[in-house]
A and B are shown apart, each in its own frame.
Chain A
Amino acid sequence: MMVDKRPQDGHGEALSAYIDGELTREEAETLVAHMDACPECRRALESLKRAKAVLRSMPHEELPPHRARVIPYVAQNAKYFIAVQAAAALLILGVSIGGGYYYMQRLHSAQDAKTEETASKLAVSAPAGQETTAPGAAPAADTAGSADSIAARNREYAGAKQESLLGTKWKRIAARDVEDLILSCRGDKYVAAKVTTIEASDAAARRKVLDLVNGSRPIMSGAAGFVVDMEPIYKLVIRTRDGSSMSFSSPFGGPMKEMNGHRGTPPMLVKGLGPPMTVENEPLARYLYDWVRKP
């Protein structure tokens, strides 16, 4: 790192303070008088002024609109928001804003089997941060593991009564198809902690969702969608116009900390639901619902 070893350095702090208007009148007069006779200090002054000007001209950063909207909501509901900082995501929902798609695990819907397109499938693996590809699933450059190892891992986690995301199919659902978005929580532990963007391409989205699923920090960048990751929310239901519904819920029914002890365990579980769930956290549900409906 730079250390002041130049001729003007005896006056360095005074020069900066002068620029900042932090010298007394007497100090300033003394310094100005000195500079008249000291070209080094005059040059140093100009250099310091330019550095200050550069910082002052830094663009004013604008919060991305979705964050700008969500933050006050999150803040004012902070008592509901547990472990907002940093911790890994428990529930992830990739929702599009204007042209993107929802990435979510598909559940019970009879016609799904017929209409599902291979290209729209996303194979999701959970353990140990690896990605695997289900048979016939979308192209994945970063394939790791086989069907056997997937099955083995599935069995491994079966004891925890989890439904692994291994090999499950993901489907794109256009935002316009979403009829309803219902959030439900248990007790006071419900959270919508972060909203970040997710890229729209399948491979990238999957990888990022996996990063979330596997407990690492969300790695997101700007795109036509966002991920709502909520912790520790217990259930989320989305109904689409074709009558299918999807839900996400915590595998352990507990907060993220418990799950961090299970490395590689998918921190979410997808279950089929019957009728739409009771809305217990209505403000949050309404907020996100409106938000999704009117992007």
Chain B
Amino acid sequence: MPNPPHFDEVYRSQAGPVFSFCMRLLGDREEAMDATQETFIKAWRGLKYYRGDSSVSTWVHSIALNVCRDAVSRMARRPRPVEPDERMADPAGEFAAGVIDAAIVDEALARLPVEQREALVLCDVLGHSYAQIAELTGNPVGTVRSRIHRGRAALASILEPPDGEDGLNT
């Protein structure tokens, strides 16, 4: 059995992808940062048990997925008191160019059922295979395939609504 990877290495290579993943799933920077932190705390604790059955990326993302699932249910129970302008007050420029598009996509993603969102993000944002997603989410490949399609079709309809319908502008 190979030695477990060094934590710094895991963090260096995975922090960005995990944060992106959390952002797409949670749609909220603060929540995503907290989820990222929690993910790496769990990864650090679990590193000695990591057996290399899956890639480090898959392993870390499976942790992140669980953390985000908890966060999603917590957020659903307790609406966050964020004022609309808070997120825009960002002198550091984190919401600079491109943010509008990302925000729209995030909003569209947020409209999907969470299991479709998960599958779609894992597939399209992270580029995982259906088999990897099945492993990560604990679902059969057929379920994954179905969720990805339904989520993607829904996203397409939101982002480019058929004639006569409004998408996000409703």
Contact = CB atoms under 8 A, between A and B. Distances in A.
B80 A222 contact: no
B113 to A, nearest CB: 7
Nearest to A201: B89
Interface string A67-89: 11011101110100100111000
Interface residues of B, number: 61
Interface string B116-131: 0000110111010110
Contacts of A222: 89-92, 94
A110 interface: no
Interface string B138-170: 000000011011101111111110000000000
A223 B102 contact: no
A66 to B, nearest CB: 10
A86 B15 contact: no
A194 B89 CA distance: 20
A74 B37 contact: yes
Interface string B67-87: 000000010000011110011
Interface residues of A, number: 52
B41 A74 contact: yes
B107 interface: no
A16 B130 CA distance: 11
A47 interface: yes
B125 A55 contact: yes
A58 B125 contact: yes
Given A58-B102, A219-B86, A75 B154 contact: no
A196 B113 contact: no
A12 B149 contact: yes
A86 B112 contact: no
A226 to B, nearest CB: 11
A217 B20 contact: no
A12 B19 contact: no
A130 B8 CA distance: 43
Interface in B12-71: 15-16, 19-20, 23-24, 30, 32-34, 36-38, 40-41, 43-45
A71 B11 contact: yes
A64 to B, nearest CB: 7
Contact of B16 (A15, A52, A61): A61
A219 B86 CA distance: 8
A91 B9 CA distance: 31
A17 interface: yes
Contacts of B92: 64, 197, 222-223
Contacts of B123: 20
Contacts of A160: none
Contact of A218 (B30, B129, B149): B30
A286 interface: no
B15 A68 contact: yes
A4 B155 CA distance: 12
A170 to B, nearest CB: 21
Contacts of A220: 30, 86
Contact of A86 (B74, B82, B157): B74
Interface of B: 7-8, 11, 15-16, 19-20, 23-24, 30, 32-34, 36-38, 40-41, 43-45, 74, 80-83, 86-87, 89-92, 94, 98, 102, 105, 111-113, 120-121, 123-125, 127, 129-130, 145-146, 148-150, 152-160
Give 9 closest A-B pairs by Cβ, nearest first: A55-B124, A16-B149, A222-B90, A51-B156, A2-B154, A75-B40, A75-B44, A61-B20, A13-B149
17 contacts: A16-B149, A22-B129, A44-B153, A50-B156, A51-B124, A55-B155, A56-B127, A61-B16, A70-B37, A72-B11, A75-B7, A84-B37, A84-B41, A85-B34, A196-B30, A216-B81, A221-B89
